[in-house]
Amino acid sequence: MEELDPTQYYNNRLASLASLPTSPYSQMFRVSMTFDHYREKFKGLSNGERLAETTVSLAGRVMSKRASGSKLVFYSLESAEGTIQAVSDARSLVGGNFAAVHANIKRGDVVGVSGNPGMSNRGELSIFVKEIILLAPCLYMLPKGGKNRDEQATWRPGKPRNPNAYVLKEQETRYRLRFLDIIVNPEVKFVLETAHSAVNYIRSFLDQRGFREVETAILNSKAGGAAARPFNTHHDASEMDMSLRIAPELQLKQLLVAGYNGVYEVDKQFRNEGMDLTHNPEFTTCEFYSAYSDYHDLMTMTEELLSGLVKKITGGYTVSYHSNGYDSPPVEIDFTPPFRRIEMVNGLEDTMGIELPKDLASEEANEFLKKTCEARGVYCAPPLTTSRLLDKLVGHYLEETCVNPAFIIDHPLIMSPLAKQHRSKPGLTERFELFVNKHELVNAYTELNNPVEQRDRFVQQLKDRQGGDDEAMVLDEDFVKAMEYGLPPCAGWGMGIDRLVMLLTDSLNIKEVLLCPAMKPPEAVPPPNEKGTPQA
């Protein structure tokens, strides 16, 4: 087939549309039913049957156009609910010259058709066209080919996927022109819908348990509740520097002081950090806080929530995930409860065959860990605080073993400035992190609610900051003051939604599951050619 220059195609199309008597952008088109409804209603027709007395209107994008002789044209129309064939024959078409009407409709255009429901002789449910109207032309050639569309349309969360097989695979183009990605790579629509299903499941799970959804501020005078570098901005009218929140934790806990017994928020957080396969500057989390509960309660809830969610969305407890790249076979991740539990300190000692110093806050412990890391070849970037050294060892020796969901529990107090000290293990806290596929998915603890101790912990964090750890938490006076009025015993929980969705959709890059991931400039990218490759 002759190769057409995309710019030339665009110009030709514009010129031919300009010669039409009316605007090619229709004012309005009313569909009489959705594709699902249409299929449901007319699936019982027999081959060759056609309901001449019934007229319906459907609309969608033309994904293929095929002429058979000069008097018959077949279109494949695609909507949010899949594909339906439209068949136009010269005899049935009303209004306009058959050849002229169809000459104006190209692959990629959005069209409305009205006509009779019927079954083709080969048994394909179709609409036999009486009228076909251009609703919005597509001025570019749509990329064509790649993994079979029908096959893509049957993909569901939990199944393996391979974006490298898409016709449009160049990431810059896919992520910047996400709408095009969705048009030509049908799987992407299901991937994006998975986030919606997951969030809906979580909302109803928490609503049923009496939690209330709240909205805490995104713009704050300071950013607390986590250890991360914030985005800064300026509010002109009040001449005030502000930061985008890095976590909603401190405000959500204030609402427990206010009298809420259970609150949650599913929304964006912002961290001014580098981007990699699992980090985007803005990302979605769910945090919830439950009064009178502790971290044991929340481990049970986590098992119920995640296993239930995976079951609901994928139909089973296991998901396929290409942990080692799309070229290697996928691993199976099993969400069947209960999840394995690993005590952090004991786990490290057992796995490494060492004995950690009892007082982890001491200078000796810091020295010991420095030496251990060095001896074992585990690299830690400075500053070499005990907390950071421990984190590295845990990453290396424990997290690596957590492919199926596993709780790492009872973190040392020095690593957890907002968690309550363990009721029976000195120096440790009542905390857990859930790891899946070696990545942290959930972080939760029995909340520290003693304001005196909370202030001491912030002071310790301040020392770490002064020691060069600029990710240590800053003291939030308003938060400590709220705590002085009495924060009920409670446990709090946070999960990264995007990471969960990555697991459910076999996505190796967080950008795959975000509608518009952060990208480097330039802002606009040129449309790709028919083969899906970017233009020079």
For position 430 contacting another protein by CB under 8 A, the verdict is yes
Q: Interaction with another protein in 374-403: which residues (CB under 8 A)?
A: none
Q: Nearest CA to 391 among 411, 368, 417, 405?
A: 411
Residues 6+ apart with CB under 8 A from 436: 333, 402, 403, 404, 405, 406, 503
Enter the tokens of residue 288: 């919830």
> Considering beta carbons, is residue 111 or 402 the nearer one to another protein?
111
Neighbour count for residue 324 (Cβ, 10 Å):
11
Q: Which of 51, 136, 153, 462 binds another protein (CB under 8 A)?
A: 136
Closest approach of another protein to the CB of residue 533, in Å: 17
- Choose one: 66-74, 89-97, 256-264, 326-334; the region binding another protein (CB under 8 A): 256-264
Q: Interaction with another protein in 156-185: which residues (CB under 8 A)?
A: 176-183
Q: Which of 76, 116, 194, 446 binds another protein (CB under 8 A)?
A: 446
Closest approach of another protein to the CB of residue 372, in Å: 31
For position 533 contacting another protein by CB under 8 A, the verdict is no
- Choose one: 233-241, 312-320, 324-332, 347-355; the region binding another protein (CB under 8 A): 233-241
> Considering beta carbons, is residue 330 or 494 the nearer one to another protein?
494
- Choose one: 135-143, 389-397, 406-414, 435-443; the region binding another protein (CB under 8 A): 135-143
Instruction: Look at the block and give the residue holding tokens 């949010």.
Output: 80
Q: Which of 89, 124, 131, 282 binds another protein (CB under 8 A)?
A: 282
> Considering beta carbons, is residue 245 or 388 the nearer one to another protein?
245
Closest approach of another protein to the CB of residue 359, in Å: 22
Asked whether the beta carbons of 182 and 192 are under 8 A apart, the reply is yes
> Considering beta carbons, is residue 250 or 503 the nearer one to another protein?
250
Q: Interaction with another protein in 207-226: which residues (CB under 8 A)?
A: 207, 210, 212-221
Q: How far apart are CA 443 and CA 202, in angstroms?
A: 16
Residues 6+ apart with CB under 8 A from 276: none
* Per-residue contact string for residues 73-112; x = within reach of another protein by CB under 8 A: -----xxx---------------------------xxx-x
Q: Which of 40, 172, 193, 349 binds another protein (CB under 8 A)?
A: 193
Please work out, in degrees rounded to the nearest 5, the angle formed at the alpha carbon of residue 107 by the alpha carbons of 62 and 534: 120
For position 273 contacting another protein by CB under 8 A, the verdict is yes
Q: Which of 21, 44, 69, 259 binds another protein (CB under 8 A)?
A: 259
Q: Interaction with another protein in 497-526: which residues (CB under 8 A)?
A: 514-516, 518-521, 523-525
> Considering beta carbons, is residue 214 or 462 the nearer one to another protein?
214
Closest approach of another protein to the CB of residue 327, in Å: 29
Neighbour count for residue 313 (Cβ, 10 Å):
21
- Choose one: 251-259, 303-311, 322-330, 378-386; the region binding another protein (CB under 8 A): 251-259
Q: Interaction with another protein in 291-310: which residues (CB under 8 A)?
A: 291-294, 297
- Choose one: 276-284, 331-339, 341-349, 369-377; the region binding another protein (CB under 8 A): 276-284
Packing angle, helices 497-504 and 187-208, rounded to 10: 130
For position 29 contacting another protein by CB under 8 A, the verdict is yes
Could you give the C-alpha distances from 49 to 35, 73, 128, 390, in angstroms and in order?
19, 18, 11, 72
With 0-12 / 13-18 / 19 or more C-beta atoms within 10 angstroms meaning exposed / middle / buried, residue 210 is exposed
Asked whether the beta carbons of 126 and 118 are under 8 A apart, the reply is yes
Q: Which of 21, 274, 382, 426 binds another protein (CB under 8 A)?
A: 274
Q: Half-sphere exposure (CA, 13 Å, Cβ side) for 454?
A: 23
Q: Interaction with another protein in 447-506: which residues (CB under 8 A)?
A: 449-451, 478, 481-482, 484-489, 491
What is the separation, in whole angstroms, between the first and last Cα of the chain?
Answer: 21
Q: Which of 76, 83, 194, 254 binds another protein (CB under 8 A)?
A: 254
Asked whether the beta carbons of 180 and 61 are under 8 A apart, the reply is no
Number of residues that bind another protein (CB under 8 A): 119
For position 22 contacting another protein by CB under 8 A, the verdict is no
Ramachandran class of 99: left when φ > 0, alpha when ψ lies in -120 to 50, beta otherwise? alpha
Could you give the C-alpha distances from 213 to 51, 76, 172, 220, 494, in angstroms and in order?
50, 43, 36, 20, 14
Please work out, in degrees rounded to the nearest 5, the angle formed at the alpha carbon of residue 66 by the alpha carbons of 24 and 186: 75
Dihedral sign for Cα 249, 255, 260, 261, please.
positive
Q: Which of 43, 91, 122, 234 binds another protein (CB under 8 A)?
A: 234
* Per-residue contact string for residues 49-68; x = within reach of another protein by CB under 8 A: ----------x-x-------
Closest approach of another protein to the CB of residue 5, in Å: 16
> Considering beta carbons, is residue 325 or 522 the nearer one to another protein?
522
Q: How far apart are CA 292 and CA 209, in angstroms?
A: 14
Closest approach of another protein to the CB of residue 507, in Å: 15
Instruction: Look at the block and give the residue holding tokens 């959705």.
Output: 34
Q: How far apart are CA 42 and CA 38, in angstroms?
A: 6
Q: Which of 87, 105, 132, 139 binds another protein (CB under 8 A)?
A: 139
Closest approach of another protein to the CB of residue 66, in Å: 20
Could you give the C-alpha distances from 509 to 327, 453, 498, in angstroms and in order?
15, 40, 10
